[in-house]
Amino acid sequence: MKTKLVASCFVIGTLLAPVAGFTEDSDMDRSHPKAYVKDSVITTKIKSRLAAENLASAAHIKVDTDNNGVVWLSGTAKTQAEIDQAVSIAGSTDGVKSVKNHTKIKMDN
């Protein structure tokens, strides 16, 4: 019975090893789990506040936070006012040290 359990665990572990390798974060600055959790919390707070403000472009604005509290905004918005509002929201969120804005205005065709 124990042999079957050990063999099953070995097979499952062997099958999951490649998955674990692919999930590694490519951002090497996030070397400590606490830093990653802190980054995720800040990013989530900003995304929630953007959604709460009913910005029409909130779904098209991407938010990422590094372990130093620097927020990176990218993507597109309909107007410069929406971009300014997103930058303001990000900058006033707890834990944010600075905001790097790479959001562009989307031109309608």
pTM of the model: 0.64
Amino acid, single-letter form, for residue 105: I
Instruction: Please give the pLDDT value at position 75.
Output: 93
Mean pLDDT of the chain: 78
Asked, for residue 15, whether it belongs to a domain, the answer is no
For residue 54, the model assigns a pLDDT of 80
- When divided into structural domains, the chain yields a total of 1
pLDDT one-digit tens code per residue, 59-90:
889 999 988 899 999 999 989 999 999 999 99
43 located within any domain: yes
CA distance 75 to 64: 11
- Here the CATH number for the domain that contains residue 92 is 3.30.1340.30
pLDDT at 19: 47
Structural domain of 62: 33-105
